[in-house]
Structures are given as C-alpha cells and as structure tokens.
Structure 1
Amino acid sequence: MTSEISLIQQIDALLPQTQCGLCGHRDGCLPYAKAISEGEEANKCVPGGQPVADALAALLQREYLVAEESVWPVQVDGRPQRVKAVIREDECIGCTKCISACPVDAIIGSGKLMHSILADLCTGCELCIPPCPVDCIDLVEDVQSVPVESARIVEQNDLRRRYYAHIQREEKRRINRKGPVVRAEIDTDLFARFSLQTNAVPNIEITEKPSTPTTNLDAKTTIELAKIRTQIKKLEKQLSVREDAKKRDLLNTLTAQLAQLQGA
C-alpha cells in the first residue's frame, strides 16, 4: 500500500492541480493519478499539455504519447494558454451555484448578491460555467507571464491544499445539503488515505453516506446503474463546456445502457 501511495504521489505531483476534470476524472487530479498508476493512459491532462504527458511517460517508463489537444494556443513552455474565469458582474443574479462548483474556492459572494472571482486563485478549470443559469461567466487569457518551474510547484501545492480543504468542507455539508450538487461524488476513501501520508494537506474524513431506500433491483444492477449515471453526469458536464465526438458517442452508448438496465 505504501509503494502504491508513493507512486500516486509522484504522479500527482506532476499534474497541474487545476482539478478541471477534462481528463475524464471529474473529481480532480488525484483520481486521475490513481488511474494512471493502474494503467490508464497518461496523456489526458489538457492543461498540462505535452510537457506533463512527457514527464509522466518518463516517470513511468512508458511510451511517449501526444497530449490531448486544448482549444487554447500553446504557450512558450509548451503548455496550453493559461486562462481565468471572469464574471460579468452586472449580469450576476447571486445564485451561488458557481461558488460550490469552484474546486479551489476562488469565487466570493453570497445569495442574491454579486459574485467575484479572485483572479490569482482561479485555475481556469471551466467548472463554474455549466451551472451558471444566466451564462454570465467568460474565460479570458491570463496575461501574466508564464511561471518558472519553482513558482509552478509552489502554485500547484497551494492549489492542492485548497482543493483538499474544499473537499473536507463540502463533504461535511453534503449529507444535509439542499439543492443540486454540481460536482461529482468524491472518492473520500482515496483522499483520506492519501492525505494521511503528508502533513501538507488537511486530513480528509471518510463521511458515511445516508442510506437509500431498497428497490426491486438486485445489488449488482443497482451498483451498475449508479456507475453509469455518474459517468453520464461527468460527460454531460464536459460536453456542456466543450464538444467532443468521442465523448458524445460514449454518452449515447451509456444512455442506451442505462435505459436497458432500467427496463430490465
């Protein structure tokens, strides 16, 4: 277990900690790091671009793969252009949906009051855009200079700590929360095991989920339905921000599987 965690830590350290979910792992960089350690391709980090894909290939001694393409142009460091989210504040209705969607708590505001995004903390993850009911959030290019490697590491460590603190707070609220949850279900067991390995991040508690009513479905089918629904939600969120033919095909396939299982 220790060696497994160590490998996941090394992989996670190379990921940019934008927690954007564009790799297909909606709940952040750590789950993708775990998936990579288990054999998933290491070229899916869109904001990391080719430098991260190459660094992961070197670490894991795997074949070098072309990184997933970004819609943004490439910077001088080989990574896609850094972007920030900006709220058109005169159009904001203060619904707070973007606040709970932000993985690093870069948005401030309260109910029925104007919200603002802290530009220095925003990762450009795009996760605040889909839940906004009035479409008042834009992505703009980050005009600041590209950070040197030492500054990038400091930034990544800070973003990781902020995300873990966000998870810890959100998990405590989740059971009694009213209204929609705009992020994926967090694998608290993974984050708990990982956070215990270092004092650099808050410990994540494993929160027990409320029991659900029994149905006529057998346990295996119920679990399969839950997995498919989670995948569908991830894909719908990603496609609402950026269209992708492969993901659209997968969404259609999963939707058909869900309908078939529900009708069984």
Structure 2
Amino acid sequence: MSTLLVGASGFLGSVLARQATAAGHAVVGTATTATGGWVPVDVTDRKAVRALISAVRPKLVFNSTWGDWRVSADGAATVAAEAAAVGARLVHVSTDALHAGRPTPYTEDDPPTPVSLYGAAKAAAETAVTAIDPSAVIVRTSLIYGNGEGRFETFVRGLLDGGPGTLFRDEIRCPIHVDDLAAALLELADSRFAGVLNVAGPEAVSRDEFGRLIARAYGRDPSALPVGLTTDADLGPRPLDVRLDTSLARSVLRTRLRPVSEGA
C-alpha cells in the first residue's frame, strides 16, 4: 500500500513510519527540512502538497504534524483536501488540548472548548477535516511518551540534571506509549471507522506523578524533581485536568493501550 506520512520526522511520525514499513507499506514521509530521507514539504503551501500527493498517489495519508495556526489548522485543511482529491484514506492526529479541562472524562461527543491558541488551532483542524472528508478518522490523543525519546521524558531528564522547569500537580493527562498509538493508527487506517476517536492511555496521572515514574525508570531520585502548581506560574490560559474516555477505543481496537505504570 502506498502511504504518505505527513510529519514523518516527528516523534510519533518516525515510529509510525517504522511500523508502517514493517507492515509492508510503501512509505513516503514529509518533513519541514530534507532530513532522514524525508521529502521537505511545507504543509501550508497548497501547490507543494498537491504536487506531492499527485506524484505519490497514496491510498493512505497520515497527518501527524503540529505547530502554529498555519501548520495545525490551515495545513491540516490542505492535507485533507488534497488527500480527498485522490481518494486516499485519511487518518488525522488531533489532541486532548482542544478541551478546557474538567474533573470528568471527555467522550468523543464532547465538543472542543479550547482555552489556548494551540487548542483552538487543533479544533479548527478537526472542523476542516470533518467538512472536507467525513470518512476520515480523527484521533484525539494525549501526552505521548516512550522509548526514552518523548519530549516529556527529555524534559524530565533535564530537570533531574538541574535544568529549568516545573512539574505541575494540577495538570492531568492520560499518557500513551508511542508504540501503542502508532499501532492504533495503523489499525484504524485499515478499518471502516470514521469520525472522532479518543485514543489515550487508561490511566490519568498528573505531570509530577508521571515525572516520578520516569525518574524511577532511569534509576534516579524522584524527590529531586521540582514540583508546583500552575497557579504559581505565569503561563496564561492552559487546559489542566483533561481526561479522555477511551471506552469506545477499547471496543474498536485490538491494540492494547498499556497503562503508564507499565510503560514509563
């Protein structure tokens, strides 16, 4: 199967590329620069995206890019439109950051309530993708970790080595291992599922709890990690307690989404 992976140089994209290749996909990946053998493409440049998709003629397109509004929202719309033009199956990766946060888990039916510009951009992307291609899969996921390569794991290691930053007790997510998320995306691509699906880990943990798990996994002292509250930091509006209800994903997917206590 010819597969186009938009954002192949990213953390999730690189793992997804490896898994797709191992599964027999003929993968073409994009990146912002010509690194790792990927094709340099600006997703906000419609002509460039159209030329690439017209040349590759993919049966399947994954979009795992993220960034500012032009990349997250406008770029997502461009990729969706050009994928639809060649009849490709589209799997779009979204985020839990489009929710404001509350004590009860969010289901797929809960509309976005963004409090940050990034969350608003990802909400706009979902609106565009749904309008352009109602048969697309939109995966709302959470904090991605795994294999020691995730941004959060790198951040925690930096804190342990005396770097700047704080782990917040009041910021809660449902972390998911990158290998599990990539496998779930491939499984969904080969299914008839359409619409929004929450794909995240089964455990809700605060960032400081997660940081302590990572520290222990590296044989480091978790008490060395700086911990605080977002109310004590001048960070602007941001989602705090964001838990995703993944009961639908567990009924749809064969892929097991491991608890963070197993994978950290």
Pick the TM interval, shorter chain: under 0.3
Higher RCO structure, 1 or 2 (CA under 8 Å, sep 6+): 2
Which structure's CA Rg is the greater one?
1
TM-score (norm 1): 0.24
TM-score (norm 2): 0.24
